[in-house]
Structure formats: structure tokens, C-alpha cells
């Protein structure tokens, strides 16, 4: 295997004690609104009808200020391996874990919003060095999207999903991976689709939890479940996607609050973890407070609330309706995800689906909600992709 180029440098970023003290000071001095005016049961999803309930937010803020340990997350990143390289004038941060297995296949995992590389830190080692010798192994690369985490913030327009996909091909090439597998959900799924459609010479195959079908397809012939999926997706985009329209049209305006107020940032992100997870009363039924705060604190310390929001301005509704993916594709539709495509619709774009799954549990953040299933699903999905080449 070719060696990495000298353009790739080891990276380490560690928050100053002053930054962490400032965060705790801001949390202690937070000004909070009155209670939400929601009627109904004391528990259950209806509590969240106006957004994050005050009691829930206060509980997380207090833990963030007095109990959460950011240093343990920094140590986890260092154990995996952190690097930076510059592509098209922009510094790109990424995690890179090479497998000890000689038969390992390169794999790039791409996150979305409001996620980050924090979504994948608990599964990287299992994917790189599985205990089961018969399970596939991967050289795992997890980049931070431009404007997210420790990647640099674009100073000009143009860093949409198409340019990001091309940058990922360049990144993998610099690591010596001329051909590789790709996985993603949310914006990462969009980027993974572009990778598979535009760069088949480099992409062996894809796995995605986001299968965006071409527009204008009919519901004729769909099953009852598939029709319900289309109704749920329609309801989401028409009644619960104000955040996307805000970030697609006025990311700078919301960005001032997200960069200046840790409580505002927490509420903006926690709202999505609650609504998009497969839970009934709280996202913490399946995701620990520490994992949510790893993600939120990364946004806070890197001041990326505004720059991350701009991916919507750059790329909202930008996926080419005519793009087709002919590389082998494994697709998983989790039941509580926000956008679910019927297989007949997905097949109009993904022409070679070699594995399709719709599990009984899981939402928008499966690597955090159902990590055991997520790892098995990736292994089995990519096994089917690799078998399609034999």
C-alpha cells in the first residue's frame, strides 16, 4: 500500500484551562426563559412540543458545568489518531485509524449536522480491529466537514457537498487509498451519494442511512409501510424543518447566538437529538449525556456554530436530480430517522442495491443510539458490497 504523503501532518488540539473556565462561568451565569406552556402528560414526547423543556435543559447545563469531563474526549481523539491536511486552501481535520489486518479495506465515515466526528469515536476501533477474525476490517478515516470541529472555516462560498466529496477523494489519495468504501448519514449521506455517483473509479461501494430519491416519483405500488414513510418525511419537511430553512437562508443570524451562548448552542442541538432519536421521553434513554456533550462542547470550543450551519446555505436541495449511483450500495433505513425513502424510489438513484435493511430500532444517530447494531450493519453491508466485486 502506498505511504501517506508529506502533506498530512499529525494534529493535536487541547482546550486551554481558560477556555474551559470561561465555559463554566457562562453556564453559571445563563439567563433562562420561563417554563414552556405545553399541556399534557408529565412524560412523553409531547413535553417537547415547544422545544427543549426547561427542567431537562437545566439538568444538562448543571451536569455540563460540574460533572462533564472534556479532557477524556480529547484523550479519546488522541488514541484514535488525529491529523490535518490542506485541500483547496482549507485545513481539513480527520481521525485515522489503520487496521492491524492485512486484508483491511479503506473506509471513510462522514458525519452530518448537528453531529461531528464525535458520532463515530466509539465505533472506530471495532471497525478497524474486530475481535472476530471473520469480520471485515477497515482502515477508518473520519474527517470533520469544512466549518466543523477542527477543520478550518471556509472564508468564501463554494464549499458545498460536491466540493467536499471531491476533497474526500483527494484526502483518501493522500493517505494512500486510491480506492475506498464510504459511509454517511444526514449531510454525510448526501456526500456519500455524490462520492458513489461522481467518483466510481475511486469508490468501491457505499453504505448509507440517507437514500435521497430523485424528485417527482409516484406512490403507486408502494407498500403501506413505504407510504407511511413518505407521509412522515413530507410532514417533517413541511412542519418540523424550520431549523433547516433558518440555516439555509440566515446562518449568520442564528450563528451569533450559537457562538456566543453555550446554553443557546446546547438547546439548538439537544432539540434535534431529542426529536430525531428513537426514544419516547428523552434522548438520554439511548444516548449518554457525555456523548451529547462531547459533540456540543466540540462545537463550542471551536466556535463553529455559524460555520457549520452554513452547509445548509451551501447545499440545501443541491443534490443533482439526475445523479445516479452505479457502484454497489448498502442502504439502511432506521425507523425513527427524519427522512426515509421507499426502496422502489431509492432504486431510481442507487442502481445496484446489494443489501437493504430497515431495522426495528434506531433513529438519526445510530452510531450513538444502537452502536452494536450499527457496527454489525456496516460490516454486513460492506461485506455485500465487496462480494459484488468478486
pLDDT, tens digit (0-9, with 9 covering 90-100), for 79-102: 999 999 999 999 999 999 999 999
pLDDT in the model for residue 44: 72
CB count within 10 Å of CB 166 equals 16
Torsion angle defined by CA atoms of residues 132, 368, 256 and 23, in that order, rounded to the nearest 10 degrees: -90
- Cβ-Cβ contacts under 8 Å for 159 (sequence gap 6 or more): 90, 146, 147, 311, 314
User: How large a percentage of the chain has pLDDT more than 70?
Assistant: 97
- pLDDT tens for each residue of 377-389: 999 999 999 999 9
Domain ranges of the chain: 9-387
Question: CATH classification of 9-387 is 3.40.50.1220, yes or no?
Answer: no
Concatenating the DSSP letter of every residue in 70-132 gives HHHHHHHHHHH-EEEEEETTEEEEEEEE--S-TT-EEEEEE--SS--GGGTTTTHHHHHS-SS
Q: Which residues of the chain have pLDDT under 70?
A: 1-6, 39-43
Which residue, among 168, 215, 201, 172, has the nearest Cα to 187 in the 3D structure?
A: 168
Question: What is the model's pLDDT at position 41?
Answer: 58
Q: Which residue has the cell 450499527?
A: 374
What integer pLDDT is reported at residue 2 of this predicted model? Answer: 47
Q: Read off the pLDDT of residues 297-331 as tens digits, 9 standing for 90 and up.
A: 999 999 999 999 999 999 998 899 999 999 999 99
φ, ψ at 43 (rounded to 5°): -130, 165
Amino acid at each position: 500500500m502506498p505511504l501517506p504523503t508529506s502533506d498530512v501532518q499529525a494534529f493535536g488540539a487541547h482546550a486551554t484551562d481558560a477556555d474551559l473556565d470561561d465555559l463554566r462561568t457562562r453556564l453559571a451565569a445563563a439567563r433562562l426563559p420561563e417554563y414552556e406552556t405545553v399541556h399534557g402528560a408529565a412524560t412523553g414526547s409531547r413535553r417537547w412540543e415547544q422545544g427543549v423543556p426547561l427542567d431537562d435543559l437545566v439538568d444538562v447545563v448543571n451536569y455540563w458545568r460540574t460533572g462533564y469531563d472534556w479532557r477524556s474526549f480529547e484523550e479519546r481523539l488522541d488514541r484514535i489518531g488525529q491529523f490535518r491536511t490542506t485541500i483547496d486552501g482549507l485545513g481539513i481535520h480527520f481521525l485515522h485509524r489503520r487496521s492491524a489486518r492485512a486484508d483491511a479495506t479503506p473506509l471513510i465515515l462522514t458525519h452530518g449536522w448537528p453531529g461531528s466526528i464525535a458520532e463515530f469515536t466509539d465505533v472506530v476501533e471495532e471497525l478497524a480491529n474486530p475481535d472476530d477474525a471473520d469480520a471485515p476490517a477497515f482502515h477508518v478515516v473520519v474527517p470533520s466537514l469544512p466549518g466543523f470541529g477542527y477543520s478550518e472555516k471556509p472564508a468564501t462560498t463554494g464549499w458545498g457537498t460536491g466540493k467536499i466529496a471531491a476533497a474526500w477523494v483527494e484526502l483518501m489519495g493522500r493517505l494512500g487509498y486510491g480506492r475506498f468504501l464510504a459511509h454517511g448519514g444526514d449531510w454525510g449521506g448526501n456526500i456519500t451519494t455524490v462520492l458513489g455517483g461522481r467518483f466510481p473509479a475511486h469508490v468501491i461501494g457505499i453504505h448509507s442511512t440517507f437514500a435521497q430519491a430523485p424528485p417527482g416519483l409516484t406512490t403507486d405500488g408502494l407498500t403501506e409501510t413505504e407510504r407511511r414513510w413518505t407521509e412522515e418525511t413530507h410532514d417533517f419537511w413541511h412542519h418540523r424543518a424550520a431549523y433547516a430553512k433558518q440555516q439555509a437562508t440566515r446562518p449568520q443570524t442564528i450563528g451569533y447566538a450559537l457562538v456566543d451562548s453555550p446554553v443557546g448552542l446546547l438547546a439548538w442541538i439537544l432539540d434535534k437529538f431529542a426529536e430525531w432519536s428513537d426514544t419516547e421521553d428523552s434522548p438520554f434513554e439511548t444516548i449518554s449525556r457525555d456523548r451529547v456533550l462531547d459533540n456540543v462542547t466540540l462545537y463550542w470550543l471551536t466556535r463553529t456554530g455559524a460555520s457549520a450551519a452554513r452547509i445548509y446555505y451551501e447545499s440545501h436541495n443541491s443534490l443533482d436530480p439526475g445523479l445516479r449511483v452505479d457502484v454497489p450500495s448498502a442502504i439502511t433505513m432506521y425507523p425513527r430517522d427524519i427522512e426515509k425513502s421507499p426502496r422502489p424510489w431509492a432504486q431510481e438513484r442507487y442502481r445496484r442495491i446489494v443489501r437493504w435493511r430497515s431495522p426495528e430500532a434506531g433513529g438519526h444517530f445510530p452510531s450513538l443510539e444502537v452502536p452494536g447494531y450499527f457496527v454489525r450493519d456496516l460490516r454486513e453491508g460492506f461485506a455485500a458490497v465487496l462480494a459484488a466485486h468478486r
